[in-house]
């Protein structure tokens, strides 16, 4: 016998042993007739056992049994045409109240009704909930309620009638909350652009807003639907949705809300991964041919100022080549297409469901720009190199590195402020030799060398093939996103595809590592792979 069958038999045994007699006396009290009580009790018993045999496993047997008893009694009352003057179906809490003393079972059912009523109040919208609470709980008159919310009294009556109907329907149903109510999912995000207010990050730091966005992603939902799916009372959902809507992360369409940016499902991420992966051998071959054939020419430009080895330089050349090729794909657009209400805010945002991808390939990019100087590095997940360079940058770091390169600064000529800057960049971006001269430990691209490097790439016979493959991949990514997204997000297709195609950087690097064309350094925490200073 299966565990399901064993559980069913146990519940039936518990029901017949503990509830049959109680149900009969409950029915006798309600009907006032031995024969009617027997029929009603038998009807309740058959419904309970039938449901259990069908495989239903209630969380609370007691609450579930008495709910069925109450519902079958309602049907019995209707069948017997008992006057509505005696029983008010619009207010379920009146059903079990009579002139005599309530017994223990009747008091239990009354408490259950009140519990269900409170539950349903949590799942009707604010415009109806406030009227119900004001009328039934705060004991206010209809005209006073109408005056306080600036509506005609007739409108308030209509809303009250509708609310009572919805409450009754809800109380007589077994609500099934969604999976997110007991197993909230996680989602991670990527953003770019200017975010002076702290948005969007400060709006998505908790499970509730994350799961609202996940549920509404490609799935326009009313607040009531979100409330039931997450198992959270509507007043809290209303507040969270308002915050997300003001943050432009959630968009209202009629009475429904939809996530206003892409959240890529696991399936979408896998589709894009394989769309890129199928081109990887061709891409890696092109990149390796271009870099290998161009390496000596690039090295002779003098972009290495220290003892950086060829492997470390090759990493940078590979990343610079792929990054440059992607930036020249037709249609690439890293500017989010929708204007934010605050003109200072120009950020774009993408969400990713937690997915198990066959390899780690996300390459990030951090840096600082100041006048004609750019200091940046590629953040690499290979070989634990992601955090080898701290996140924080300062424009003074870039200035001092520029002056050390162009003017040949030494540490004994530094001003007090420059000495503080030196403490920050020493053994991070540069070191001092025996004479105190500052030597950059990173690639330095100056004197028009960036253009010269690009021209070297363009001259290679495989560059055109590399560019054409990247263009095909970009189109394939757009097709996947279009298929996976609601039409409301289709104006963001190029923006999101532009972000996703940069994954080629990490995938190509992984392929070159497998080909043993580049190798992960023995001490990745010490390397300056992927860091460069550009002086224009």
Cα–Cα distance measured from residue 430 to residue 60, given in angstroms and rounded to the nearest whole number:
68
Q: Which two tokens stand for residue 105?
A: 């079972």
By CB neighbour count within 10 A (0-12 exposed, 13-18 middle, 19+ buried), where does 207 fall? middle
Q: Per-residue confidence at 172, pLDDT binned at 50, 70, 90?
A: low
Backbone φ/ψ region at 77: left (φ over 0), alpha (ψ -120 to 50), beta: alpha
Residue owning tokens 């540069």: 430
Contacts of 502 (CB under 8 A, 6+ apart): 323, 326, 363
* Other Cβ atoms closer than 10 A to 397: 22
Query: In this structure, what are the phi and psi dihedrals at residue 47, rounded to the nearest 5 degrees?
Result: -65, -40
Burial 252-269 (b: 16+ CB within 10 A, else e): eeeeebbbbbbbbbeebb
- According to the model, what pLDDT value does residue 176 have? 56
- According to the model, what pLDDT value does residue 173 have? 52
Contacts of 362 (CB under 8 A, 6+ apart): 381, 503, 506
Residue 525 in this model has a pLDDT that exceeds 80: no
Q: Per-residue confidence at 102, pLDDT binned at 50, 70, 90?
A: very low
Highest mean pLDDT among 48-52, 154-158, 397-401: 397-401
Taking all residues of the chain, what is their mean pLDDT, rounded to a whole number?
85
Residue 86 in this model has a pLDDT that exceeds 60: no
- According to the model, what pLDDT value does residue 115 have? 54
Digit-coded pLDDT (tens) for 451-471: 999 999 999 999 999 999 999
- According to the model, what pLDDT value does residue 21 have? 78
- According to the model, what pLDDT value does residue 66 have? 85
pLDDT over 90, % of the chain: 49
Please tell me which residue, 208 or 180, carries the higher pLDDT value: 208
Mean pLDDT on 101-121: 52
Please tell me which residue, 497 or 528, carries the higher pLDDT value: 497
Task: Pick the range with the lowest mean pLDDT from 26-40, 392-406, 418-432.
Answer: 26-40
pLDDT over 70, % of the chain: 88
Residue 107 in this model has a pLDDT that exceeds 80: no
- According to the model, what pLDDT value does residue 109 have? 46
Digit-coded pLDDT (tens) for 260-302: 999 999 999 999 999 999 999 999 999 999 999 999 999 999 9
CA-closest candidate to residue 247, choices 265, 261, 233, 229: 261
pTM passes above 0.85: no
Tell me the residue ranges of DSSP E strands in 322-395: 348-353, 364-370, 373-379
- According to the model, what pLDDT value does residue 178 have? 66
Contacts of 417 (CB under 8 A, 6+ apart): 396
Alpha carbon separation from 408 to 45, 273, 303, 414, 438 (Å, rounded):
94, 46, 15, 12, 7
DSSP string computed for 53-87: HTT---S-HHHHHHHHHHHHHHHHHHHTT--TTT-
178 touches 159 (CB < 8 A): no
* Other Cβ atoms closer than 10 A to 519: 13
449 touches 301 (CB < 8 A): yes
15 touches 49 (CB < 8 A): yes
- According to the model, what pLDDT value does residue 300 have? 95
Residue 508 in this model has a pLDDT that exceeds 50: yes
- According to the model, what pLDDT value does residue 94 have? 34
Cα–Cα distance measured from residue 338 to residue 349, given in angstroms and rounded to the nearest whole number:
11
- According to the model, what pLDDT value does residue 169 have? 66
- According to the model, what pLDDT value does residue 38 have? 82
Cα–Cα distance measured from residue 63 to residue 65, given in angstroms and rounded to the nearest whole number:
6
Cα–Cα distance measured from residue 457 to residue 474, given in angstroms and rounded to the nearest whole number:
21
CATH classification code of 179-260: 1.10.10.10
Indicate the domain borders of the chain: 3-171, 179-260, 266-535
* Other Cβ atoms closer than 10 A to 115: 12
Q: Per-residue confidence at 83, pLDDT binned at 50, 70, 90?
A: very low
């Amino acid at each position: 016998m299966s565990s399901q069958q064993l559980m069913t038999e146990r519940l039936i045994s518990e029901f017949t042993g503990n509830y049959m007699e109680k149900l009969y006396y409950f029915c006798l009290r309600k009907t006032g007739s031995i024969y009617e009580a027997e029929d009603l009790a038998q009807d309740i018993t058959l419904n309970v056992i039938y449901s259990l045999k069908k495989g239903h496993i209630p969380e609370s047997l007691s609450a579930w049994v008495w709910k069925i008893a109450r519902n079958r009694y309602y049907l019995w009352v209707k069948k017997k045409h008992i006057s509505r003057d005696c029983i008010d179906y619009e207010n379920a809490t009146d059903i079990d109240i009579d002139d005599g003393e309530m017994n223990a079972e009747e008091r239990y059912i009354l408490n259950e009704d009140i519990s269900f009523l409170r539950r349903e109040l949590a799942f009707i919208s604010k415009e109806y909930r406030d009227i119900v609470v004001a009328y039934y709980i705060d004991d206010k008159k209809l005209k006073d309620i109408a005056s306080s919310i600036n509506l005609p009294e007739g409108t308030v009556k209509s809303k009250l009638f509708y609310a009572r109907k919805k409450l009754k329907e809800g109380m007589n149903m077994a609500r099934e909350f969604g999976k997110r109510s007991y197993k909230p999912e996680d989602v991670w995000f990527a953003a770019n652009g200017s975010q002076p207010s702290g948005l969007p990050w400060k709006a998505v730091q908790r499970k509730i807003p994350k799961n609202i966005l996940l549920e509404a992603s490609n799935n326009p939902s009313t607040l009531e639907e979100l409330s039931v799916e997450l198992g959270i009372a509507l007043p809290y959902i209303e507040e969270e949705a308002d915050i997300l809507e003001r943050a432009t992360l959630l968009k209202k369409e009629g009475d429904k809300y939809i996530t206003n940016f892409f959240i890529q499902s696991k399936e979408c991420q896998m589709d894009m991964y394989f769309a890129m992966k199928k081109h990887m051998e061709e891409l890696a071959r092109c990149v390796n041919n271009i870099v290998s054939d161009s390496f000596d020419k690039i090295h002779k430009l003098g972009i290495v100022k220290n003892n950086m080895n060829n492997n470390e330089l090759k990493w940078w050349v590979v990343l610079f080549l792929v990054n440059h090729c992607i930036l020249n794909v037709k249609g690439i657009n890293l500017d989010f297409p929708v204007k934010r209400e605050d003109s200072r805010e120009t950020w774009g945002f993408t969400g990713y469901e937690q997915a198990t991808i066959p390899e780690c390939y996300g390459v990030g990019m951090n840096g600082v720009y100041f006048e004609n100087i750019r200091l940046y590095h590629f953040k690499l997940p290979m070989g634990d190199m992601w955090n080898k360079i701290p996140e924080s940058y300062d424009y003074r770091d870039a200035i001092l590195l520029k002056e050390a390169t162009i003017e040949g600064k030494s540490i004994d000529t530094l001003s007090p402020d420059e000495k503080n800057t030196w403490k920050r960049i020493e053994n991070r971006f540069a070191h001092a030799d025996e004479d105190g001269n500052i030597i950059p430990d990173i690639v330095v691209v100056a004197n028009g060398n960036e253009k010269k490097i690009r021209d070297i790439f363009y001259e290679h016979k495989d560059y055109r093939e590399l560019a054409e493959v990247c263009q095909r991949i970009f189109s394939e990514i757009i097709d996947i996103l279009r298929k996976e997204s609601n039409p409301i997000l289709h104006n963001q297709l190029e923006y999101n595809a532009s972000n996703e195609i940069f994954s080629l950087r990490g995938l190509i690097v992984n392929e070159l590592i497998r080909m043993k064309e580049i190798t992960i350094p023995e001490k990745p925490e010490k390397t300056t792979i992927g860091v460069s200073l550009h002086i224009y």
